[in-house]
């Protein structure tokens, strides 16, 4: 009746009754403890439950029936679907069937279940419940069906997204190389390795090379967790009952097997720019796009059908990237302000700031760049919110900084707190002056603070972690499943060997809560970590699951997480992790031998990177100040800004500032150059000092610099030192007492702590200082100059 | 002719003084309503004459005759419409009813202007306003309520320095504001995102009569390509078509006219105050949009509204 | 009588909160939900398509829902309109159509009323003699002059019409007929505009246009039947829909040249006329048109080249451009920077705004299906086609 409808009608005719299978359970615990109270797919992504994106994607692809397979919190999911628009008959032509797979332990089990009961007889789409995509998959399904006529063994098409090595969407713990026959897009092999240790080689079956004239090896592809499957896929899963996961077991198994002659095809999602309309590639999606162009020939202004975005939220790192993609509108029309998903209405503001209704921003607040503010959220004066998502009724107190963080509904942040690259659950209260370092995950209803620093990658929940292995996945209150659950699977949070800090604590308490479905424990809260008013318990770091469990994740690797490597790989999958962390960690490990406690080591590892960033930033700032000849005040202000925004340490700052300034002394032009630099810039160092002890430290820093810095040639070391120290005094950067104090201390120290040679060099000066102090003599300037001129 | 003792001018002044929020046209209509309540005319002609003379009297008695005359015009038009009534008493009754409703509803006009105008105020803007205007205050008040954050420059607005009053009021609302010299408008225009002015009267061309200084702000805003919005309740639309500054009813030939000054030593300060105009006329081409209680309109839309009203 | 609520609020409330999907029959809800879903997914993007679908949906609402008086009908229409606007808040066309349909309903009602009861014509003078319920400005004020406001009228008529179901039936069918006529008018918009082509295009002229526009295509092709001229098309990166336009325009009488967007200023000195399409014409005569249009218009102004904008009346929006961002659409920046470029995607913010706002000063002539107008004349057209400001006040509800 309506002209525009022809579009959707033709789509439906194309494949009669397209079906989809959605794995609403993830069979891993990468989101714990956030998913304690609800299934992971109901966690909000840009303030919309993730399952909505998936259902919307399927529905807009013309899927008529969706089977949701869930295990943990099945009732919550059921209730959700019932009250959502999907439950409304008039809304959608897509039927949703929920299937509870109580015994499933893995993707494989779930698919076998489906095979047993539903009897899917036609091709279907398989994806997880956490897929975000703006594609119209019906075209791909059509291409899949068409290809089946050419290749009878074609059982599956894998959807892959192009993303270069450093792309944020990539799973940093995984290196995958895909072997593709470019003429047919047939997938010839997948080589996946954990990214640690760095893989040195990979094997390619010779027959692949022999039988295909051309083979593409691509390392720039990311699995989207979307598959188009023929019914045979289910049968194959049933036949091979040891298949657990899709990629590692199934695809790998099929491709490597000589017996199974099935073939799998890959479809690579490329951006529009790779295929200009002039030369459409012979490929389902491009054909689809052309068809679109034709269909929309009437268009006054034709939107490009960006058929290009698909990604799965597989871990918290992906959660972070996909949130950013949604905010940055990469998945248009899926974006906060024009989301096809029911939810609050957001308005777009410059710089990708999305505001829902009744958002209150303090007059002096700073909300900029890639921020989503949920309904009734509140940002107080002087608070900074950047690159973050605030849920409904969230509030951020005065002078707090929220950067790269995801606050679920009703979370509140007190005054002067800093939250960085963290996911914070519903109704969490963060009190004043709390610093939450990156990578933390805070479960619902926790209270933290005041005045505490939560080290990075800490997981905190309102409930005690379960030490029993009888729980699986996000399934703490799925008590009916306990017994059936495989004890080998994703048990909750056995403290790992590496988390010695909390180990005793957790094991001893863990037993108390076995079988209590993670009910709220009466144990005292971990206030030593959470602060005096803290409510909640620390889970193991990195949120490790059962460390001894090789099958723990739907990951596709065989390595386990028991060793250090595994822990790091796991950390790589967490929000806020950098690959650099691990590389640095590797180096550190080489440097320091293992006399230190392992958890301390980790502490080191985690702190190094932000520290380095801070240091680099600070050095740049000072260099800029020199270059542009800033005033002392401006420079000092900028330095302290850098320190605040990177949470840098005072001592580090002092050290770096002093080093940078000393580094600007032209060693060839001593002593005048030293005098010039210190008279101009000494004030900056002075501003980093607040008490006598720190003055002494500055002297120490200068000594270290003169003695050790590689930029200083050996013959100049003592000269530089001898001339710098009096200048420090002359320009009032340190007081005489500090120099004397340092000297007295240095003389008594062993020679590997200070350079004896250097200490001696200022003996004369110190003596003079001692004298002048007694005499209270004022005309010391001349003396100083004379001293330096002596050389 | 007016055989009653009712002094309309006095009543008008008491209305203005009694309520700082009342605008001149509303007070005029209020006074006229009072007048017809008091008088006892028997013929339609007499009735009309009474009202007309009262209007004249009002215009003469006040210096701010422009917006006042708008009120008088509205009342006269109403009178013309009701003139088909059977008797003077019926006519009077209807007029009183309509008039008092007009007076009561006047405050709401201001809210409506604010309602239509407030979407134009956006987060993080810098606004320049001129002088003191109740309708601007209403708009900004609403914008504050909508959690918008903005800054306001206010002109000092010599000679009565009404900008200071506006600044005090805005400060109270928690809006960051600065008062700028009238001479510094060119200086700050670059920092301004939009200009808001009120109006004494909006004329048929869509131009606007307002506190002295408005014209120059409009010219600078146009040069700097900043939007210049005028806010006016519809009862400030007047039936005038000025072609130059000197066509305004408030024009006095002795203003700035190089006439001989009395005495040998001249007190320039008093001369300045005495000899300068209080209002100027801003031609429509300088006005981006008008926010009125009838909706947002372009200057050309104003004459349409006026024609519709007075030609009915 | 006068309540404390402001007119906009009362206008909002008058689309009474008690309305819900259940107030409609399935004949309305199914296509409505369908349309909403498609709007949200961005599946319908073509201006005319959206306009037509909205109008058809409105006709369905009129035909298939229960309403006893005009006021109730207007409320139903507003309710549906609000739903559609919420589905795609940046789509101004929906507002245009809904307002237009409401206007049609009001017009039709008054004409039926006048025919039915000629005696009443004199009895309802446009004056304040009979105090009308629901007046928003003081009845003496200016806004009263054009006293045909929906509510007033609706309420006046309710009393009389309610009793006469026959009349309601007749009214319903005449409203439906009017809407059908309007839909037909929509269909023919491009042709009507193209009929004016010969007034604007002369032989051997060099004409510059931008991006893909069906209206402009038809306009130029119609002129090409009689005259020979050159057309320069800017390619409109990164969408390159200028290429498509060039292909569509190519015919014996038109010599088409495609130029990169950056060459616009350089070539403008040779151009005789700029002919543009647009998404929406705002109430002040400004345009929301494909990005790149502002640059072309500015270049044309610099060279004093005439800018002609072809846009059907359904594109005339009653709202004013108070916020550039609210009327723009930012689509996926993938075309600007491919998503796979991992180093950059994380490091830079990329934006791809779909539209430009072109201020009315840069537009010389607006050609619609009734003829050419100055941008400053637009307010008159709006007054003819839409009811007073208060009637579309509901559209800014999300402010």
Average pLDDT of the residues in A539-550: 46
Per DSSP, the residues of B199-243 read -SEE-TTS-EEEETTHHHHHHHHHHTT--EEEE--GGGB-S---S
> According to the model, what pLDDT value does residue C299 have?
95
Contacts of A349 in chain B (CB under 8 A): 123
Specify the residue for token string 């006293």: C147
Write out the H or E segment, with its range, that includes residue C375: none
| Cα gap C68→A368, rounded to integer Å | 51
**Is some CB atom of chain B closer than 8 A to the CB atom of A303?**
no
**Which residue(s) pair with C365 in the sheet?**
C308
- B-chain residue closest to A349, CA distance: B123
- C-chain residue closest to B284, CA distance: C376
Which residue in A90, A329, A345 is closest to C332 by CB distance? A329
Average pLDDT of the residues in A360-380: 88
Contact yes or no for C176/C59 (Cβ under 8 A): yes
**Is some CB atom of chain C closer than 8 A to the CB atom of B307?**
no
Tell me: pLDDT of A308 over 80. Answer: no
- A-chain residue closest to C248, CA distance: A297
- Looking at per-residue pLDDT, the higher value among B80 and A433 belongs to A433
Tell me the average pLDDT of chain B: 85
Average pLDDT of the residues in C36-44: 81
Among B123-127, C23-27, C305-309, top mean pLDDT goes to C305-309
> Are B149 and A358 in contact (CB < 8 Å)?
no
> Are A363 and B174 in contact (CB < 8 Å)?
yes
**Phi, psi (rounded to 5 degrees) for C278:** -150, 160
Q: What is the pLDDT of residues C79-111, one digit of tens each?
A: 888 888 888 878 888 888 888 888 888 888 877
Contact yes or no for C399/C331 (Cβ under 8 A): no
Among A195, A268, A281, smallest CA distance to A578 is for A195
User: Distance (Å) from the C-alpha of residue C129 to the closest C-alpha of chain B?
Assistant: 7
Among C45, C48, C97, C43, smallest CA distance to C215 is for C48
Average pLDDT of the residues in A703-729: 79
- Looking at per-residue pLDDT, the higher value among A487 and A431 belongs to A431
Contacts of C397 in chain B (CB under 8 A): none
3-class SS at A22?
strand
**What would the two tokens of residue C77 be?**
């229409």
**Is some CB atom of chain B closer than 8 A to the CB atom of A664?**
no
Average pLDDT of the residues in A547-561: 38
Percent of chain B at pLDDT > 90 equals 31
Buried b vs exposed e over C55-76: b needs ≥16 C-beta within 10 Å?
Answer: bbbbbbbbeebebebbbbbbbb
Tell me: pLDDT of C5 over 70. Answer: no
Q: For residue A439, give every residue at least 6 positions away whose Cβ sits within 8 Å of its Cβ, in sequence order, or none.
A: A421, A422, A456, A457, A458, A571, A574, A575, A576, A577, A606
- Looking at per-residue pLDDT, the higher value among A539 and C10 belongs to A539
Tell me the average pLDDT of chain C: 78
Q: What is the pLDDT of residues A616-632, one digit of tens each?
A: 778 888 888 888 777 88
> Are B101 and C140 in contact (CB < 8 Å)?
yes
> Are C139 and B300 in contact (CB < 8 Å)?
no
Contact yes or no for C60/C31 (Cβ under 8 A): yes
**Upper half-sphere CA count for residue A8 (Cβ side, 13 Å):** 23
> According to the model, what pLDDT value does residue A496 have?
37
Q: Where in chain C is the domain with CATH 3.40.50.10470?
A: 190-384
Tell me: pLDDT of A498 over 50. Answer: no
Average pLDDT of the residues in A200-209: 81
**What would the two tokens of residue B184 be?**
């510094």
> According to the model, what pLDDT value does residue A608 have?
53
Contacts of C399 in chain B (CB under 8 A): 118-119, 146
Among A173, A564, A567, A614, smallest CA distance to A420 is for A614
| Cα gap B226→B228, rounded to integer Å | 6
Residue C365's region, left for phi above 0, alpha for psi from -120 to 50, else beta, is beta
Q: How many CB atoms lie within 10 A of CB B176?
A: 14
**Upper half-sphere CA count for residue A33 (Cβ side, 13 Å):** 29
**Is some CB atom of chain C closer than 8 A to the CB atom of B238?**
no
3-class SS at C299?
helix
Among C93, C100, C83, smallest CA distance to C50 is for C93
Provide the CATH topology of domain C7-116+157-187: 1.20.120
> According to the model, what pLDDT value does residue A495 have?
38
Domains of chain B in sequence order: 8-108 (1.20.120.420), 121-311 (3.40.50.10470)
> According to the model, what pLDDT value does residue A761 have?
76
- B-chain residue closest to C374, CA distance: B300
> According to the model, what pLDDT value does residue A298 have?
34
> Are C53 and A309 in contact (CB < 8 Å)?
no
Q: For residue C384, give every residue at least 6 positions away whose Cβ sits within 8 Å of its Cβ, in sequence order, or none.
A: none
User: CATH: 3.40.50.11720, 3.40.50.2000, 3.40.1280.10, 3.40.50.10470. Which one for C190-384?
Assistant: 3.40.50.10470
Torsion, Cα B30 B31 B36 B39, to 10 degrees, reads 150
Q: Which strands sit side by side in the sheet containing B125-129, from one edge to the other? A: B177-180, B150-155, B125-129, B194-197, B228-231, B289-292, B295-297
Tell me: pLDDT of C305 over 90. Answer: yes
Q: Contact partners of A by the rule of 3+ C-beta pairs under 8 A?
A: B, C
Contacts of C53 in chain A (CB under 8 A): 2-4
Contact yes or no for B235/C142 (Cβ under 8 A): yes
3-state secondary structure A621-661: HHHHHHHHCCCHHHHHHHHHHHHHHHCCCHHHHHHHHHHHH
The mean-pLDDT minimum among A588-592, B38-42, C26-30, C121-125 falls in C121-125
**Which residue(s) pair with C386 in the sheet?**
none
3-class SS at B296?
strand
Q: For residue C319, give every residue at least 6 positions away whose Cβ sits within 8 Å of its Cβ, in sequence order, or none.
A: C92, C95, C282, C283, C392, C395, C396
> According to the model, what pLDDT value does residue C304 have?
94
Per DSSP, the residues of A748-774 read HS-TTTS-HHHHHHTHHHHHHHHHHHH
Which residue in B147, B174, B176 is closest to A359 by CB distance? B147
> Are B123 and A361 in contact (CB < 8 Å)?
yes
Contacts of C376 in chain B (CB under 8 A): 298, 300
| Cα gap A134→A66, rounded to integer Å | 18
Strands A406-407 and A423-424: parallel
* Number of B–C residue contacts, CB under 8 Å: 123
Contact yes or no for A414/A434 (Cβ under 8 A): yes
Which residue in C139, C146, C389 is closest to B98 by CB distance? C139
The mean-pLDDT minimum among A134-148, A299-313, B154-168, C318-332 falls in A299-313
Q: For residue C287, give every residue at least 6 positions away whose Cβ sits within 8 Å of its Cβ, in sequence order, or none.
A: C276, C278, C279, C280, C281, C293, C309, C311, C356, C357, C358, C363
User: Distance (Å) from the C-alpha of residue C204 to the closest C-alpha of chain B?
Assistant: 36
The answer to whether the pTM exceeds 0.95 is no
Contacts of C332 in chain A (CB under 8 A): 134, 304, 306, 308-309, 329-332
**Is some CB atom of chain C closer than 8 A to the CB atom of B306?**
yes
User: Distance (Å) from the C-alpha of residue C227 to the closest C-alpha of chain B?
Assistant: 37
> According to the model, what pLDDT value does residue C206 have?
94
pLDDT class for A19, splitting at 50, 70, 90? confident
> According to the model, what pLDDT value does residue B187 have?
95
**Is some CB atom of chain A closer than 8 A to the CB atom of B263?**
no
> Are B108 and C376 in contact (CB < 8 Å)?
no
Write out the H or E segment, with its range, that includes residue B276: none
Q: What is the pLDDT of residues A772-785, one digit of tens each?
A: 766 654 544 444 44
| Cα gap A587→B304, rounded to integer Å | 79
Strands A186-194 and A263-269: antiparallel
3-class SS at C60?
helix
> Are C88 and A166 in contact (CB < 8 Å)?
no
> According to the model, what pLDDT value does residue C273 have?
94
Tell me A301's DSSP state: S
Tell me: pLDDT of C310 over 80. Answer: yes
- Looking at per-residue pLDDT, the higher value among A14 and C38 belongs to C38
> According to the model, what pLDDT value does residue C18 have?
56
> According to the model, what pLDDT value does residue B141 have?
92
Among B213, B115, B196, B107, smallest CA distance to B150 is for B196
**Is some CB atom of chain A closer than 8 A to the CB atom of B123?**
yes
Contact yes or no for A409/A426 (Cβ under 8 A): yes
Q: Contact partners of C by the rule of 3+ C-beta pairs under 8 A?
A: A, B
Beta strands in A313-461 (DSSP E): 347-349, 353-355, 360-361, 366-368, 371-373, 378-379, 384-386, 389-390, 395-396, 401-403, 406-407, 412-413, 418-420, 423-424, 429-430, 434-436, 441-442, 447-448, 452-454, 459-461
């Amino acid at each position: 009746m309506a002209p525009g409808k022809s579009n959707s009608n033709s789509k439906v005719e194309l494949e009669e009754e397209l079906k989809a299978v959605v794995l609403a359970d993830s069979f891993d615990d990468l989101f714990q403890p956030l998913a304690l109270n609800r299934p992971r797919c109901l966690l909000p992504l840009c303030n919309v439950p993730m399952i909505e994106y998936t259902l919307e994607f399927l529905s807009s692809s013309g899927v008529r029936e969706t089977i949701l397979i869930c295990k943990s919190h099945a009732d919550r999911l059921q209730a959700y679907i019932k009250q959502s628009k999907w439950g409304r008959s008039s809304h959608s032509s897509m039927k949703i069937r929920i299937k509870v797979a109580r015994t499933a332990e893995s993707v494989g089990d779930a698919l076998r279940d489906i095979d047993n009961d539903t009897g899917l007889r036609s091709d279907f789409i398989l994806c997880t419940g956490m897929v975000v995509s703006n594609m119209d998959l019906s075209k791909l399904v059509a291409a899949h069906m068409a290809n089946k006529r050419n290749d009878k063994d074609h059982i599956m098409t894998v959807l892959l997204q192009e993303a270069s090595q450093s792309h944020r969407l990539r799973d940093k713990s995984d290196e995958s190389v895909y072997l593709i026959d470019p003429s047919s897009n047939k997938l010839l092999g997948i080589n996946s390795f954990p990214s640690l240790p760095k893989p040195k080689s990979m094997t390619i079956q010779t027959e692949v090379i022999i039988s295909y004239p051309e083979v593409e090896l691509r390392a720039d592809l990311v699995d989207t967790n979307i598959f188009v499957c023929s019914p045979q896929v289910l049968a194959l899963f049933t036949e091979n009952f040891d298949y657990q996961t899709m990629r590692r077991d199934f695809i790998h198994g099929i491709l490597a097997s000589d017996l199974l002659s099935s073939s799998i095809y890959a479809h690579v999602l490329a951006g529009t720019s790779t295929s200009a309309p002039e030369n459409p590639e012979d490929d389902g999606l491009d054909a689809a796009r052309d068809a679109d162009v034709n269909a929309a020939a009437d268009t006054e202004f034709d939107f490009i059908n960006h058929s290009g975005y698909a990604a799965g939220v597989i871990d918290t790192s992906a959660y972070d990237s996909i949130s950013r993609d949604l905010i940055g509108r990469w998945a248009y029309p899926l974006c906060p302000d024009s989301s096809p998903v029911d939810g609050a209405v957001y308005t777009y503001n410059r710089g990708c700031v999305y505001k829902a209704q009744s958002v209150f921003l303090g007059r002096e607040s700073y909300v900029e760049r890639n921020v989503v503010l949920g309904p009734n959220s509140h940002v107080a004066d002087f608070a900074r919110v950047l690159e973050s998502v605030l849920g409904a009724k969230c509030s951020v107190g005065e002078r707090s900084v929220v950067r790269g963080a995801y606050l679920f509904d009703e979370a509140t942040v007190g005054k002067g707190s800093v939250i960085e690259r963290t996911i914070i659950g519903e109704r969490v209260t963060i009190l004043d002056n709390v610093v939450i370092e990156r990578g933390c995950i805070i479960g619902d209803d926790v209270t933290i603070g005041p005045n505490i620093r939560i080290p990075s990658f800490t997981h905190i929940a309102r409930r005690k972690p379960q030490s029993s292995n009888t729980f699986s996945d996000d399934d703490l209150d799925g008590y009916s499943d306990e017994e059936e659950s495989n004890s080998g699977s994703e048990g909750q949070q056995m403290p790992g060997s590496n988390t010695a800090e909390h180990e005793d604590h957790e094991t001893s308490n863990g037993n108390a809560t076995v079988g209590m479905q993670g009910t709220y424990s009466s144990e005292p809260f971990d206030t030593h970590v959470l602060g005096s008013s803290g409510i909640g318990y620390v889970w193991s770091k990195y949120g490790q699951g059962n460390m001894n469990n090789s099958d723990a994740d739907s990951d596709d690797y065989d390595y386990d997480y028991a060793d250090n490597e595994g822990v790091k790989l796991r950390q790589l999958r967490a929000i806020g992790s950098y690959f650099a962390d691990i590389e640095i960690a590797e180096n550190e490990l080489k440097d320091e031998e293992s006399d230190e406690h392992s958890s301390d080591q980790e502490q080191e590892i985690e702190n190094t990177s932000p520290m380095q960033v801070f240091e680099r930033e600070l050095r740049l700032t000072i260099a800029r100040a020199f270059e542009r000849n800033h005033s002392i005040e401006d420079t000092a202000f900028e330095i302290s800004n850098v320190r605040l925004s990177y949470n840098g340490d005072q001592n580090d700052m002092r050290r770096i500032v002093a080093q940078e300034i000393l580094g600007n002394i032209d060693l060839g032009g001593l002593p005048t150059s030293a005098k010039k630099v210190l008279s101009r810039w000494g004030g900056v160092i002075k501003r980093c000092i607040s008490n006598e002890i720190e003055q002494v430290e500055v002297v120490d820093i200068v000594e270290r610099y003169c003695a050790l810095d590689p930029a200083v040639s050996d013959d100049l070391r003592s000269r530089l030192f001898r001339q710098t120290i009096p200048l420090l005094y002359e320009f009032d950067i340190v007081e005489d007492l500090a120099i004397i104090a340092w000297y007295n201390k240095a003389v008594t120290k062993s020679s590997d702590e200070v350079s004896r040679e250097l200490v001696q060099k200022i003996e004369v000066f110190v003596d003079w200082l001692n004298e002048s102090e007694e005499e209270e003599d004022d005309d010391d300037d001349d003396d100083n100059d004379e001293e330096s001129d002596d050389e | 002719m007016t055989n009653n003792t009712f002094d309309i001018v006095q009543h008008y002044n008491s209305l203005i003084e009694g309520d700082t929020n009342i605008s001149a046209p509303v007070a005029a209509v209020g006074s006229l309503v009072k007048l017809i309540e008091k008088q006892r005319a028997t013929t339609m002609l007499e009735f009309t004459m009474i009202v007309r003379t009262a209007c004249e009297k009002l215009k003469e008695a006040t210096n701010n005759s422009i917006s006042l005359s708008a009120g008088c015009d509205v009342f006269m038009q109403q009178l013309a419409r009701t003139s088909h009534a059977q008797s003077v008493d019926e006519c009077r009754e209807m007029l009183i009813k309509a008039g008092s409703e007009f007076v009561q509803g006047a405050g709401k006009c201001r809210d409506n202007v604010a309602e239509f105008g407030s979407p134009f105020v956006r987060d993080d803007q810098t606004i320049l306003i001129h002088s003191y205007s109740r309708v601007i205050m209403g708009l900004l008040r609403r914008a504050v309520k909508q959690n918008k954050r903005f800054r306001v420059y206010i002109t000092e607005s010599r000679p009565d320095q009404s900008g200071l009053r506006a600044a005090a009021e805005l400060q109270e609302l928690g809006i960051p504001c600065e008062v700028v010299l009238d001479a510094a408008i060119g200086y700050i225009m670059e920092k301004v995102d939009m200009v808001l002015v009120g109006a004494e009267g909006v004329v048929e061309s869509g131009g606007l009569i307002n506190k002295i200084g408005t014209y120059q702000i409009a010219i600078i805003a146009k040069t700097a390509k900043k939007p210049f919005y005028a806010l006016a309740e519809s009862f400030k639309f007047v039936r005038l078509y000025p072609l130059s500054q000197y066509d305004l009813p408030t024009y006095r030939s002795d203003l700035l006219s190089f006439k001989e000054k009395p005495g040998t030593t001249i007190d320039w300060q008093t001369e300045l105050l005495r000899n300068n105009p209080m209002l100027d006329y801003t031609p429509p081409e300088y006005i981006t949009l008008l926010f009125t209680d009838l909706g947002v309109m372009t200057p050309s839309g104003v004459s349409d509204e006026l024609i519709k009203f007075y030609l009915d | 009588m006068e309540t404390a609520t402001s007119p906009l609020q009362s206008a909002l409330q008058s689309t009474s909160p008690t309305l819900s999907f259940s107030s409609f029959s399935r004949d309305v809800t199914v296509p409505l939900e369908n349309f909403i879903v498609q709007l949200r997914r961005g599946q319908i993007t073509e201006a005319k398509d959206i306009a037509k679908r909205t109008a058809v949906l409105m006709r369905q609402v009129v035909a298939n829902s229960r309403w006893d008086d005009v006021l109730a009908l207007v409320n139903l229409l507003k309710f549906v309109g609000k739903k559609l606007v919420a589905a795609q808040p940046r789509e101004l066309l929906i507002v245009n159509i809904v307002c237009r349909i409401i206007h049609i309903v009001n017009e039709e009602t008054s004409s039926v009323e006048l025919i039915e009861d000629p005696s009443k014509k004199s009895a309802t003078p446009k004056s304040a003699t009979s105090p009308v319920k629901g007046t928003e400005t003081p009845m003496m004020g200016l806004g009263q002059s054009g006293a045909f406001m929906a509510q007033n009228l609706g309420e006046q008529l309710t009393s009389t019409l309610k009793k006469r179901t026959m009349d309601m039936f007749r009214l319903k069918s005449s409203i439906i007929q009017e809407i059908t006529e309007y839909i037909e008018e929509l269909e023919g918009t491009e042709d009507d505009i193209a009929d004016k082509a010969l007034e604007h295009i002369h032989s051997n002229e060099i004409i510059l246009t931008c991006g893909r526009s069906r209206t402009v295509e038809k306009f130029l092709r119609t002129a090409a039947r009689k005259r020979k001229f050159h057309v320069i098309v800017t390619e409109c990166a990164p969408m390159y829909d200028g290429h498509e336009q060039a292909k569509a325009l190519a015919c014996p009488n038109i010599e088409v040249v495609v130029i990169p967007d950056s060459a616009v200023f350089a070539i403008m000195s040779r151009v005789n006329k700029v002919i543009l399409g647009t998404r929406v014409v705002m109430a002040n005569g400004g345009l929301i048109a494909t990005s790149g249009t502002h640059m072309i218009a500015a270049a044309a102004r610099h060279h004093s080249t005439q800018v002609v904008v072809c846009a059907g009346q359904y594109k005339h929006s009653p709202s004013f451009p108070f916020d550039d961002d609210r009327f723009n659409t930012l689509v996926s920046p993938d075309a600007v920077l491919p998503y796979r470029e991992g180093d950059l995607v994380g490091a830079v913010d990329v934006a791809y705004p779909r539209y430009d706002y072109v201020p009315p000063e840069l537009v010389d002539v607006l050609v619609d299906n009734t003829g050419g107008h100055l941008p400053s004349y637009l307010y008159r057209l709006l007054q003819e086609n839409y009811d007073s400001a208060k009637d579309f006040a509901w559209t800014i509800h999300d402010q």
